Amino acid sequence: MPAQQRRTGPAAPPSDRVRLRRKRERGDYDRTVIDAILDEALIAHLGIADRHGQPYVVPTLHARSGDVVYCHGSTASRTLRALAAGAKACLTVTLLDGLVLARAAMHHSANYRSVMLLGEAKPVEAEADKLSALEAIVEHIVPGRWRDVRPPNENELRATSVLAIPIEEASAKVRSGPPLDDEEDYSLHTWAGLIPLASRAGAGEADPRLLEGIPPPPYVSAYRRPGAP
């Protein structure tokens, strides 16, 4: 499925279902913000409720391509089968930026950026579209990798489900900055502040069975995530 052009989203929530009720000041419905979080995150959690109302949540790799998010998994997965049959999807990603240590126990928190996406997942069935979606997922994980690897064969494609979820009902929630204590607690002799957290890539480690004379490609030796320091 070819990448679609990204739309600039509205400042208001696109639906009441994704409108933030609590901590509304942390909500953001701008597509630029939503897209950046989706593009930086590596792991998404895909949730559904089946026809009996039983909820399921599974971790998955994902990729945004224009106005859709692709997910993939085994054709035997009951979650993906239910989604392909029309079950409503909820996809979330979270980036943890730091721990917030307040003076009061109940004001401890975390700095984070998250996205919640609601919608109906559509199965990607045409072989060319499926390959394009899988390429997007591989390139989301490690840009430049697809051209160096063996593409999926016919059996692998048959065993893999790929779903596309449109970015139509989505919201971001972001917390940043220092702790927010009650005014009377600022006089307490207790350390308060932030412990920043960040994901950083280490040096590439070669497979023990790697053929001799193959150096790590630049996308391994210089790997970094979007938004990484």
Domain ranges (residues) in the chain: 16-183
Look-up of token digits 């996205």: 115
DSSP-derived secondary structure letter, 144: T
**CA torsion sign, 40 to 116 to 74 to 5?**
negative
Cα distance between residue 17 and residue 13, in whole Å: 9
Asked if 123 and 70 count as a contact pair (C-beta separation under 8 A), the reply is no
Instruction: Indicate the class that CATH gives domain 16-183.
Output: mainly beta
Smallest CA-to-CA distance from 18 within 195, 171, 213, 127 is with 171
Distance of CA 53 to the CA centre of its chain: 25
Per DSSP, what are the bridge partners of residue 172?
28, 115
Separate counts of helices (H) and strands (E) for the chain: 5, 10
Give the pLDDT confidence score for residue 50 in this predicted structure: 63
The predicted model scores a pTM of 0.88
Task: Report phi then psi at 129, rounded to 5.
Answer: -70, -35
Q: In angstroms, how far is the first alpha carbon of the chain from the final one?
A: 32
Give the pLDDT confidence score for residue 14 in this predicted structure: 78
Asked if 173 and 114 count as a contact pair (C-beta separation under 8 A), the reply is yes
pLDDT digits (tens), the chain, 229 positions = 334 334 444 468 777 777 776 777 787 888 999 999 999 999 999 988 666 667 888 899 999 999 999 999 888 888 888 888 888 899 999 999 999 999 999 999 999 999 999 999 999 999 999 999 999 999 999 999 999 999 999 999 999 999 999 999 999 999 999 999 999 999 999 999 999 998 889 999 999 999 999 999 999 999 998 876 6
Give the pLDDT confidence score for residue 7 in this predicted structure: 42
- Count CA atoms closer than 13 A to 66's CA, side-chain side: 9
Cα distance between residue 39 and residue 17, in whole Å: 23
